[in-house]
Amino acid sequence: MQSNNLLKHFDEQVASDLEFDIIRAMLAEKCVQPSAEARAHALCPLKHRKNIIKLLEETDEIKRIRNEGLPFPSIDFEELSEELRLLEVKDSILTEPSFWRIARASRIVNSIISGLDTAEGVNGGSKYPRMNWLCRDVVKTVEIIEPIDKVFDAKGQVKDSASKELGYIRKDMVNLKRASNRNFSKAMKGLLEKGWLADTREGFVNERRVLAVESTYKRRIKGNVLGSSNTGTITFIEPSSVVTLNHELEILRDDERKEVRKILRSLTRIIRQHVELIRSYNVLLIEMDFVWAKSSLAFELECNMPTLPKRQVLTLVKAYHPLLVKANRDLGLKTHSQSFSLDKSGRLMVISGPNAGGKSITLKTVGLLQVMLQSGMLVPVNSASEMGVFDSILTDIGDNQSIENQLSTYSYRLARMKHFLNVADGKSLLLLDEFGTGSDPELGGALAEVFFEELYDRGVYGIITTHYANIKSRAAELKEAINASMLFDREGLSPLFKLSVGQPGSSFTFEVARNNGISSDIITRAKKKLDTRKVDLDALIGDLQKKKSQVAKLASRQLRAEVDAEKAAIKAEKSAKKNLEKTDALNRAIENHNLDVTRGKKMLKFIDSYDPSKGTKKLTTDFIKYLAQERARIETAKKRPKKKPSEAFPISQTKVKKRPNHRIEDIKVGSTVRLRTAKERGKVLILKGKKATVLFGDFKTVVTLDKLSFIK
C-alpha cells in the first residue's frame, strides 16, 4: 500500500491506546498462510475514502456469500512462492508435493469462479462485483489440472501409468519383491525349526529385511551380516537366497527414481507454460485468505458495513466496543450499546460523569471502530450508522509514564498536546481521556481550557472526557461543541453505562465513595470543606439527569402507545376490508349458483317437452328464442357498471386516528417551541438539519425536531 494513502500520524502508541494491536492479533489468527498473517500484523488505517470502501465491500461480499450459502470453497491452500521461484529457473524440476499444491490452487480458483458465475445480480449484472474484480487475472481451466492428474493419483503418488517404462519397472519390482519374500520366508522357516532364531525372528536394517539370529549360530548361516544388537546376543543376517534378488531390486529402484525424475521434468515443462496464471493464483488466494479472515472476524464480533459519506461526520447507531463484547460474552454479561452523532453542528463532544461509568470505554469505542473501518474492516454497529473518513486520528489515553525518560504523566500529556496543536485540523479525529488531569486542578484546568479552545478553533472532530467544570462550561458556550454525560443511578448508587447527549454530568464523587464503603461521617466532613455552591451545583446536575431520564422514559412510552394504536387501527381496517371482499365474493357465488339452477330448470323443461313424433319446429323456435334472450341479458350485464363492495362496515369507523400536527416544518431560529412530552417552553437558538439547540429558561440543550412542537 502506498505510504501517501496511509492515515497521518498513526503510530504504535495510537494502536496501543485504542487496543487495535489486539484486533490485529485476532485477525492474524484467522489467516491460513504466512503472507496474510504478516499483513494482518502490519495492518494500518488508510485515509482515501475510495480505497477504504473497496476493502470494506470486498469483506462485506464474502460475508454475504457465506450468509447466503453460495457454493464457495474454503480458502485452504498453501502458498506457491517456492514453486514460482523454481519455475523461473531453466531446467528446474518441481517436487511431487509442489504439483499437488499447484493442482489444489487451480481447483480452488475454478470453484471460486464457478460460484461467482452462478450468482447473477440485477439486470444480469454481477451480484458480487468486488469478488469478480479480484478474479480478473484468473480463468477457469483444466489445462493445469489434467496433466497433473495423469501423472499423480489421489494420494499424490506418481501413477504406474505415468509412462510405459515406469509401468514395466514397477511390474518387475513387484515380481522381485514376491520372489524375495518367498525365499526369505523359506529361510526363516528352516532356521526356526532348528531353533537358531531369537524371539524377534526378523527386522529391518537400512531398509533391508533381515533375520534375527542368536549370535551363537551366526557362522552356520550363509548370508550378509548387516549388524547386531546392543548386547551382541543377536546378529542380523540377510539370507544368501535373497541377496541377489535384493541387489536387482535396488537397481530397479534406481531405474524407478530416474524414470520418475524424467516424468516430473516433462510435467514441469508443461506447467511452466502457465507460470503467469499460477502467479495470479498465488496473488488471488493470498488476497482471498486475508479477506476471508476479515469476514470471519466480522462474524465473531457481529460487524456490519456502515455508510461512508464524503463529509466529516460520525453517526453511530448501536455501536459496541468489540473487545468488551467478546469479554462480556465469555463472562455471560450484557454489553450496553452507544448511539450518538458528531457532525458540523456538534463536532466536539465533552463527556463527563462518574468514574467507572463508561466515559473511557465510549471514547475508546469511537477510536477503535474508526481505526478498524479505515483499515478496511467491518465494525460492530447498526448498518444505518454513518462514518466519515478522517485524515488523522489523534489519541491521548492512559498515563503513559516513562521511568527510563523520567517522564511524568503530565509531561507526557503536554508533549502530546504540543503535537496535536501542530498537526490537528478539520479532518482530524481527536480522542482525549481525562483531559487536563495530572497537574494542579485550578492551574491545569485553566491551561486545559485554552488548549480546548485552540483545538476547537482548528475545526477538529472528537471526544474529550473530563471532570473539569470549566471545560464543561466552555463547551456549553461554543456553538459547535456539545456536552454529554454518562448516566448514574442515584438510588442504586451504580453507573448505568448509558450516554446522554445535551448536558454535562455530575462526577457523583460522594455517591461513588459511599458505594465503595467510605463512611458517611468522612463524606460529611469532606462536604464541609467545599464551597456549598459547588456541592449544590453537583447535586442539581445529578437531579437534572434523573429528571431527564424520567422524561425520556415517559416520552418513549407515549410514542410506543401511539404506534401500537396506529398499528391496531390499520389492522382493523385491513380486517374489515378483507371481510367485505369475502362477503362480496360469496354473494356473487350465490347469484351465479341461482342463475345456473334457473338455467338448468329451463333446459329440463325443453328436454321434457321434446317429442320427435310431434315435430320439433315449435321446440326449436322456443329454444332459439331462449338463447337469444340469455345472450341479450349477458351483453346487458357486461355494460352495466360493476357493483360497489357492500358497506356493511363503513370505512369511516375504521379510519386511523390522525396523530397531532406538531408543525415541525415551521420551526426556525427564534421560534417558540415546547417538548412534546412536557409543558416547558423554550426558544430556538440554532437550527441545523434535524436538530435544534433550544434554551429552556437558563438551560440550553440540543434536541431532534421530532421531539418538539411549534408554538409560535
Tens of pLDDT, residues 439-479: 556 666 788 889 899 999 999 999 998 888 888 888 888 99
* pTM for this prediction: 0.68
Mean pLDDT of 337-355: 87
CATH number for the domain formed by residue range(s) 24-161+268-301: 1.10.1420.10
The answer to which of 164-173, 364-373, 400-409 has the lowest mean pLDDT is 400-409
Q: How confident is the model at residue 302 (pLDDT cuts 50, 70, 90)?
A: very high
Q: How confident is the model at residue 54 (pLDDT cuts 50, 70, 90)?
A: very high
Q: Looking at the predicted structure, is the pLDDT value of residue 502 above 50?
A: yes
The answer to which of 46-55, 265-274, 416-425, 509-518 has the lowest mean pLDDT is 509-518
Topology annotation, domain 314-512: Rossmann fold (3.40.50)
Determine what percent of the chain is predicted with pLDDT higher than 90.
43
CA distance 450 to 471: 9
Q: Which CATH class is domain 664-710?
A: mainly beta
Note the CATH architecture for domain 163-255. Answer: Orthogonal Bundle (1.10)
Instruction: Give me the pLDDT at residue 648, please.
Output: 43
Q: How confident is the model at residue 431 (pLDDT cuts 50, 70, 90)?
A: very high
Identify the residue with better confidence: 376 or 75.
Answer: 376
**Cell (9 digits) for 192:** 526356526
Buried b (16+ CB within 10 A) or exposed e, 204-240: eeeebbbbbbeeeebeebebeebebeeeeebbbbbbe
Using CA atoms, how far residue 187 sits from 140, 180, 212, 234, 585, in Å, is 58, 11, 12, 17, 100
Instruction: Give me the pLDDT at residue 612, please.
Output: 72
- Quickly list H helices, 76-223: 81-87, 96-117, 129-134, 145-151, 164-194
Q: How confident is the model at residue 500 (pLDDT cuts 50, 70, 90)?
A: confident
Rounded to the nearest angstrom, the gap between the alpha carbon of residue 488 and the centroid of all alpha carbons in its chain is 32
Mean pLDDT of 550-558: 58
Mean pLDDT of 625-642: 73
Tens of pLDDT, residues 89-143: 988 999 999 999 999 999 999 999 998 888 765 555 678 999 999 999 999 999 9
**Cell (9 digits) for 40:** 494482518
C-alpha closest to that of 391 among 47, 12, 53: 47
CA distance 681 to 698: 12
Q: Looking at the predicted structure, is the pLDDT value of residue 644 above 60?
A: no
Q: Looking at the predicted structure, is the pLDDT value of residue 485 above 80?
A: yes
CA distance 317 to 44: 25
CA distance 577 to 654: 10
Asked if 569 and 656 count as a contact pair (C-beta separation under 8 A), the reply is yes
